[in-house]
Structure 1
Amino acid sequence: MKRPSSLTLVNLGLFLLLGAGIVHDSRAQSWGDFLKNAASDAARQAVGNNVRQAVTGAVDGAARGLAQPAAPVAQAPVQAAAPAGCPRRKGTPLPIGERPDGFEPAALWPEDTGCPVYSVSDLKFDKARAAKTAFREASKVPCSDCEGGYAFDAWGGRSLVKSGDYSREFPKLLVALEQGKSLGWKGERYDVRISATGAHPIGEMPCRQFHYTLHEKARLVAEYDGMYCEYTRPYIANPSWNEVV
């Protein structure tokens, strides 16, 4: 139930006293002044209370607003601008970093182009790939029933895969080799040997390094260092081992 205000109680008391006829004429003026002053004081007090309540409420509300941290405003991710001379690409660059001291052979570390790398196909191994091409050309042998009239003994690894997809099964044979172990085959003219030399990642990508040799009997004809890395190729959900060099 709502309590009556001070002004209402004063007015009610005045009404009762006047109605009962107990106010004498000689003191009516002073008593009336007293009641008038009491009513005014009550009104001022009521107004003052209302003002204090309003001010207090405003201050409390402001304090609560300061105490509560503002909700963070969502911002769109900002993509760093490509260095001068580098193509603009979408996505996140691969975390390659610097070549670790223990990484061997050094030629299998990606060459620095000064541009961010977004996929394995962007990695540059110009020197290592040139050595691989020279190795293949050195293994060339005449062939009467093949296109161009020649074949490459360096491609004889298919003889090691007895069943299944060669592109999937041959990398499995290589990465299963322990360091220092090797496998190989005898071609039409040359013997090919692939030895596991280490397992050093490039950034966060697992990689295994191999040394390839080409012999004609006891003579070393050519050699190069190659590498397989495990990563996800486009349109393939699971990572797999793939030849990089």
Structure 2
Amino acid sequence: MIEKGSMFKAWEATTEQQKKAHEMQAIYKAQETARQAIQEAMNRYIKKKTRARSVAKAEANPFAELEGWESLDQIQEAYGYGEITSDRRDKLTELWEAREAAQRQGKKDGKYHDLVTDMPARAIRRVGDEYADEIAAYEEERRMRCSYYEKVENRANGLQEEEPDPLSPAMDAIMTAVQAAKVSEVTGTPLPKPLTWRRPLKECAPVHGYECPVCGSKMNVQREACPYCHTRLESEEGSAKT
């Protein structure tokens, strides 16, 4: 009995695969670190733009302070009447414009968006693009190796039969016909109909006029036996043998 998964583990334990695994883990870790660094920088920017007390608050609901405000005109009027300070007006105006810009872009996740935040967001998605092919090849090789070794182990342990040959029935039929042809050749007796020369469609065989029904060989004339599989054949009705 072969322990399940032992062949794949043995392959993984080879020096070459250990080295490759360490290289790939370093790439995975570097990608995640880079994404986190970009995200943290974007969060700090959002905190600064929204003038939130914390990054968490800025991320959770950056437009919370706009609740109760129905328009930019209302904000400006409140400033004109001395109800809010200029700093407060500027902050609300920036938040309002950022929310409008996000909605125009179809971004309805409730987070702060502007041209600056769009850039690191794209950068996060593209981190490690230069390693995409290498990563895909590495993971595909692992998947194929695992599948192959699993089949080998199952067969060795009697858990999976060999897959049948899809051509086996056709080959058996040909061997039967060949054996019958040998008997026909020895006895001199033609094989019974419908084993006769047949004429294939003209567009399929523009040169050869006749076809052996056993091996499929084509030729211009009918013979007593196929020169390839030696099957004795009757002539096609209305045609003479040559």
TM-score range, shorter chain: under 0.3
Higher RCO by CA contacts (8 Å cutoff, separation 6 or greater): 2
Higher strand content, 1 or 2: 1
Higher helix content, 1 or 2: 2
Q: TM-score, normalised by structure 2?
A: 0.23
